[in-house]
């Protein structure tokens, strides 16, 4: 079965080689980081976490979003998602792998990373994050393998898989909740210390993840002819519309509480994020862009006539992913550190090394996804035309 | 057996890779036997018997560092010596290069002790 | 069962077992580990910083005050790192307004405005850094000192993120070339680990009765720093706390700092 990933058209192989080249570049730069330390990043004593941890956070959301196809299909027997669920699970597997790599490259002493498992610490959310991520990876690998091979042999999946599938639903929620707890339980960082951080993370996850899934489905259909069906795409579009609306609502809730209560310690972060007050960075421009792109996507998503147009749906999905990526992948982590505990403003921008390593990790994720999809689609052979 | 050629080639490749240290060492003209170490002392005994030290000095050092750093215990109950790499071990085995490094190089291990711990008596901080 | 199926089953089982052990064992061990009792019976170390004495003595000194210089010298702190973003420091000064934020700076008394205040690790009674550390590389000793185990730190920097006082430094690169002069009596650090003030706990090594005086306290010519056992009502530290008004940094966070300030 796995050997299906090793046979393909010229175009498939060019794609693989490009990905391997990016991974190679990322690996080389990582080796330099390994030699010289995290000094090659743009991080500092005031902004100790940055691009890597932000990508991790964004991708946990992508991983968790698989639940948005699993839940309707398995709990509500929503047949239209039948051809989609395995794609969602594969996306989750690729995303979890990227998450782990982003955590790994962020470690100052990577050769000791197993200490998290050797000296388990219940009071550390990082320990719990490792537990839930590993668990989620195992669940998704097992579920997708078992259901897929049953489908292939045209038999019903074994009965024991059903409890695992049901377990995977709250588990998906848990991975993003624990990731939010990583931030929201810290008295030191008022910007993150909000009880709706976890719901906000889930809202952005359930918007960006399915949006990404729609885009992947469209790409897959374009290049392989494998079609998940218009019905499924339409329904995913509705899910994105809801989640994006809730996300906007949550942002407004945050703005109200922080703005109306007017506590400087909380407000300063928002002022920095949206107006650059106190700092010199251009992050606020990105944040406005994120807001405007997000609103634009919402218009496209909320009007049924626009949403059901596949080109516009694709455009809306790109806008959703970009808007949320800016918020989660660029700003959310960094703004928590500016100003610092001494109320000083230290700027952060990822270095070229950081970006190259991150690109390499994304390439690993895309490679994993490509390989899994190749195998699955070749086996399904819904259309004889392969990649 | 089908794919006989592929399987045999695979096994051969596997053996070549797995035996890398052996043939690489041989090609480099490395010593086939353990190096002669500068023990640096005539003392009858170490903090444990020689055999134990040879096999598991790293475990002892791990244990010592946890006892000192985490439990705040400084004296080794068995030998009565202070549990210290620089103040006890190197007190006898003063020639680090001739003792520690030589064997570690031979064994192909690269412990990170000296990234932080200094040689006593102003021996500088060069690795 | 076809050859392919049995191979697949084998690979799957092996993979699942490896992952299961990877997740399961740490969980079981964590559940089995004891919750450490924070209250010992021995001394609990704490410090009082007399900011007015500090200002009188060192108010006009450029650069590091002598206490900081001495601390950094004996602890091999890489003071030659020029880039403030990668600075490593155990004890230093910050302007009053930054150390005790939240007061209206406009109506601050003249002598406090812009005054340098000594800051260091607060050795909190309820330390957030210890709570967040995933490997117990930092923990609270029975004598109240928040310690670092440089052998165990994985460099995740969660403790820096969790510390409300900015007391922790990360080694962004190999610190050794940036140390003024290496003191062989104390280890240096390697790149990739977090470090901070340890209340000079290494001095217990050469102490007969298990007590010691931190270097910063010992070198201060004006005795602006008072150090002692906060569990001993007869200690100079406790008497100072009983007689004079002291403030803490961000007391509202409930970390219960063990560095007190006379203002």
pLDDT digit string, tens, across residues A77-88:
898 998 899 899
Residue B1 is predicted with a pLDDT of 65
**Residue B18 distance to chain C (closest CA, Å):** 21
**Residue B48 distance to chain C (closest CA, Å):** 23
Q: From CA C18, how far away is CA C24, in angstroms rounded?
A: 10
Q: CB-based contacts of B9: which residues, under 8 Å, 6+ apart?
A: none
On whether any CB of chain A is under 8 Å from the CB of C22, the answer is yes
> pLDDT digit string (tens) for C58-97?
877 777 899 999 999 999 999 999 999 999 999 999 999 9
On whether any CB of chain A is under 8 Å from the CB of C101, the answer is yes
Write the DSSP symbol of residue A187.
T
On chain C, the residues whose CB falls within 8 A of the CB of B69 are 147, 149, 151
Mean pLDDT of chain B, nearest integer? 85
H helical segments located in B4-124: 4-18, 20-27, 50-65, 71, 90-92, 96, 102-107
* Residue showing tokens 């790409």: A219
On chain A, the residues whose CB falls within 8 A of the CB of C161 are 48-49, 186, 188-189, 337
Write the DSSP symbol of residue B75.
B
Q: Residue B117: which of C141, C187, C205 has the nearest Cβ? A: C187
| Cβ B119 vs Cβ B86: under 8 Å | yes
C32-52 average pLDDT score? 73
For residue A342, how many other CB atoms are within 10 A of its CB?
Answer: 16
Q: What percent of chain A has pLDDT over 70?
A: 97
Length of chain A: 387
**Residue C209 distance to chain A (closest CA, Å):** 32
- What band does C29 get if pLDDT is binned at 50, 70 and 90? low
Q: Is the pLDDT of residue B127 over 50?
A: no
CA angle A288-A294-A298, nearest 5°? Answer: 145
β-strands C194-195, C45-50 pairing: unpaired
| Cβ A205 vs Cβ A256: under 8 Å | no
β-strands C146-148, C138-140 pairing: antiparallel
Q: Residue A187: which of C25, C98, C164 has the nearest Cβ? A: C164
- What band does C57 get if pLDDT is binned at 50, 70 and 90? confident
State both tokens at C79.
């003071």
Q: Residue A109: which of C12, C99, C153 has the nearest Cβ? A: C153
Q: From CA A323, how far away is CA A325, in angstroms rounded?
A: 6
Q: Do C184 and B112 touch (CB under 8 A)?
A: no
Mean pLDDT of chain C, nearest integer? 88
Q: Do A125 and C166 touch (CB under 8 A)?
A: no
CA distances from A24 to A27, A31, A93, A100, A363 (A): 5, 11, 21, 18, 10
| Cβ C88 vs Cβ C77: under 8 Å | yes
> pLDDT digit string (tens) for A86-137?
899 999 999 999 999 999 999 999 999 999 999 999 999 999 999 999 999 9
Q: Do C182 and B125 touch (CB under 8 A)?
A: yes
**Residue B20 distance to chain C (closest CA, Å):** 26
Q: Is the pLDDT of residue B33 over 80?
A: no
> pLDDT digit string (tens) for B57-87?
999 999 999 999 998 888 999 999 999 998 8
Residue C31 is predicted with a pLDDT of 58
Minimal CA–CA distance to C123: which of C88, C157, C94, C165? C165
List all chains that touch chain C, counting a touch as 3 or more CB pairs closer than 8 Å. Answer: A, B
Write the DSSP symbol of residue C230.
T
Q: From CA A97, how far away is CA A103, in angstroms rounded?
A: 10
Q: Residue C149: which of B70, B121, B125 has the nearest Cβ? A: B70
Query: Is the model more confident about C11 or about A354?
Result: A354
B17-34 average pLDDT score? 80
| Cβ C180 vs Cβ C80: under 8 Å | yes
A355-376 average pLDDT score? 96
Q: From CA C134, how far away is CA C120, in angstroms rounded?
A: 23
Counting one residue from chain B and one from chain C, the pairs whose CB atoms sit within 8 A come to 37
Residue B122 is predicted with a pLDDT of 44
Q: CB-based contacts of C194: which residues, under 8 Å, 6+ apart?
A: A108, C137, C138, C148, C153, C155, C157, C159, C160, C168, C169, C170, C171
Which of A138-152, A367-381, B88-102, C34-48 has the least mean pLDDT?
C34-48
Q: Do B72 and C184 touch (CB under 8 A)?
A: no
On chain B, the residues whose CB falls within 8 A of the CB of C176 are 125
Residue C37 is predicted with a pLDDT of 40
CA distances from B70 to A171, A294, B62, C134 (A): 36, 51, 11, 16
On chain C, the residues whose CB falls within 8 A of the CB of A113 are 154
Q: From CA B109, how far away is CA B40, in angstroms rounded?
A: 21
State pTM to two decimals. 0.90
Write the DSSP symbol of residue A340.
-
Q: Do A37 and C171 touch (CB under 8 A)?
A: yes
Minimal CA–CA distance to C227: which of C48, C44, C42? C48
| Cβ C71 vs Cβ C216: under 8 Å | yes
On whether any CB of chain C is under 8 Å from the CB of B17, the answer is no
Residue A121 is predicted with a pLDDT of 93
Task: Examine residue A339 and say whether the peptide bond preceding it is cis (omega within 30 degrees of 0).
Answer: yes
Residue A83 is predicted with a pLDDT of 86
Q: From CA B70, how far away is CA B78, in angstroms rounded?
A: 19
**Residue B12 distance to chain C (closest CA, Å):** 21
On whether any CB of chain B is under 8 Å from the CB of C176, the answer is yes
Domains of chain A: 2-379 (1.20.1630.10)
Query: What does residue A104 show for φ and ψ, rounded to 5 degrees?
Result: -60, -50
Residue B4 is predicted with a pLDDT of 87
Residue C196 is predicted with a pLDDT of 97
β-strands C45-50, C259-262 pairing: parallel
Residue C23 is predicted with a pLDDT of 63
C210-227 average pLDDT score? 93
Residue A176 is predicted with a pLDDT of 95
Interface of C with B in 123-142 (CB under 8 A): 139, 141
Q: How far is CA C177 from the centre of its chain?
A: 23
Interface of C with B in 188-207 (CB under 8 A): 188-190, 204-205
Q: Is the pLDDT of residue C33 over 80?
A: no
**Residue B117 distance to chain C (closest CA, Å):** 5
- What band does A3 get if pLDDT is binned at 50, 70 and 90? low
A196-202 average pLDDT score? 97
Minimal CA–CA distance to A286: which of A301, A273, A298, A299? A273
On chain C, the residues whose CB falls within 8 A of the CB of B125 are 176, 179, 182, 188
Q: CB-based contacts of A151: which residues, under 8 Å, 6+ apart?
A: A157
A281-286 average pLDDT score? 91
Residue C210 is predicted with a pLDDT of 84
> pLDDT digit string (tens) for A147-193?
988 888 888 889 999 999 999 999 999 999 999 999 999 999 999 99
ipTM of the complex: 0.92
Task: Examine residue C11 and say whether the peptide bond preceding it is cis (omega within 30 degrees of 0).
Answer: no
State both tokens at A25.
């570049």
């Amino acid at each position: 079965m796995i050997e299906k990933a090793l046979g393909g058209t010229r175009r498939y192989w060019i794609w693989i080689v490009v990905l391997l080249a990016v991974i190679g570049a990322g690996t080389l730069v990582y080796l330099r980081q390994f030699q010289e330390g995290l000094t090659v990043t743009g991080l500092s004593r005031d902004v100790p976490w940055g691009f890597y941890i932000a990508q991790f956070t964004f991708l946990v959301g992508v991983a968790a979003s698989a639940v948005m196809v699993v839940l309707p299909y398995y709990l509500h027997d929503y047949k239209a998602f039948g051809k989609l669920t395995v794609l969602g699970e594969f996306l989750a597997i690729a995303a979890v792998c990227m998450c782990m790599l982003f955590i790994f490259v962020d470690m100052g002493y990577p050769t000791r990373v197993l200490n998290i498992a050797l000296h388990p610490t219940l009071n550390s959310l990082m320990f719990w994050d490792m537990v839930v991520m590993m668990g989620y990876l195992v669940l998704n690998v097992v579920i997708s393998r078992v259901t897929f091979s049953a489908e292939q042999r045209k038999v019903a999946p074994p009965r024991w898989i059903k409890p695992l599938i049901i377990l995977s639903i709250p588990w998906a929620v848990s991975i993003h909740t624990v990731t939010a707890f990583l931030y929201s339980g810290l008295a030191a960082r008022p910007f993150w210390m909000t009880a709706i951080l976890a719901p906000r993370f889930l809202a952005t996850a359930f918007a960006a993840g399915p949006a990404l899934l729609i885009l992947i489905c469209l790409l897959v259909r374009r290049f392989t002819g494998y079609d998940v069906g218009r019905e499924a795409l339409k329904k995913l579009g509705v899910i994105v519309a809801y989640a994006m609306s809730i996300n906007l609502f949550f942002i407004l809730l945050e703005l109200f509480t922080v703005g109306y209560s007017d506590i400087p310690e909380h407000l300063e972060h928002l002022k920095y994020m949206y107006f650059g007050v106190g700092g010199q960075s251009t992050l606020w421009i990105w944040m406005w862009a994120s807001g405007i792109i997000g609103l634009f996507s919402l218009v496209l998503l909320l009007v049924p006539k626009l949403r059901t147009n596949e080109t516009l749906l694709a455009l809306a999905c790109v806008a959703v992913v970009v808007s949320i990526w800016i918020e989660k992948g660029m700003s959310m982590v960094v703004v928590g550190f500016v100003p610092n505990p001494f109320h000083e403003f230290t700027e952060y921008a990822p270095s070229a090394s950081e970006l190259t390593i991150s690109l390499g990790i994304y390439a690993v994720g895309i490679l994993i996804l490509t390989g899994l999809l190749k195998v699955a689609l070749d086996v399904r052979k819904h259309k004889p035309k392969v990649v | 057996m089908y794919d006989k050629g592929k399987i045999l080639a695979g096994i051969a490749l596997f053996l070549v890779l797995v035996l890398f240290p052996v043939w690489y060492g041989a090609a480099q003209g490395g010593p086939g036997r353990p190096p002669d170490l500068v023990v640096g002392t005539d003392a009858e005994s170490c903090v444990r018997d020689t055999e134990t030290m040879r096999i598991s000095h790293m475990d002892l050092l791990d244990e010592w560092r946890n006892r000192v750093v985490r439990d705040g215990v400084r004296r080794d109950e068995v030998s009565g010596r202070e549990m210290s790499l620089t103040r006890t071990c190197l007190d006898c085995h003063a020639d680090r290069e001739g003792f520690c490094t030589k064997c570690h190089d031979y064994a192909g291990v690269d412990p990170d002790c000296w990234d932080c711990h200094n040689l006593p008596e102003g021996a500088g901080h060069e690795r | 069962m076809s050859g392919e199926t049995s191979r697949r089953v084998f690979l799957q089982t092996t993979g699942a077992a490896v992952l299961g052990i990877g997740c399961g064992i740490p969980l079981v061990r964590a559940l089995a580990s004891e919750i450490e009792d924070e209250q010992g019976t021995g001394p609990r170390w704490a410090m009082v910083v007399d900011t007015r004495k500090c200002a009188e003595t060192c108010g006009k000194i450029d650069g590091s005050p002598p206490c900081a210089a001495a601390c950094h010298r004996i602890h091999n702190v890489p003071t030659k790192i020029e880039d403030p973003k990668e600075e490593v420091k155990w004890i230093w000064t910050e302007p009053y307004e930054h150390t005790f934020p939240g007061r209206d700076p406009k109506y601050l008394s003249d002598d406090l405005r812009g005054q340098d205040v000594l800051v260091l690790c607060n050795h909190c009674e309820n330390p957030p850094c210890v709570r967040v550390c995933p490997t117990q590389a930092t923990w609270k000793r029975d004598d109240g000192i928040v310690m670092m185990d440089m052998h165990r730190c994985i460099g995740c920097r969660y403790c820096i993120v969790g510390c409300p006082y900015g007391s922790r430094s990360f080694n962004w690169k190999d610190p050794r070339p940036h140390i003024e002069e290496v003191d062989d009596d104390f280890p240096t650090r390697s790149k990739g680990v977090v470090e901070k003030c340890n209340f000079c706990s290494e001095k217990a090594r050469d102490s007969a009765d298990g007590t010691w005086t931190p270097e910063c306290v010992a070198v201060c010519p004006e005795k602006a720093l008072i150090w002692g056992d906060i569990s001993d009502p007869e200690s100079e530290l406790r008497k100072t706390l009983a007689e004079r008004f002291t403030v803490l940094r961000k007391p509202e966070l409930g970390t219960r700092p063990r560095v007190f300030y006379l203002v």
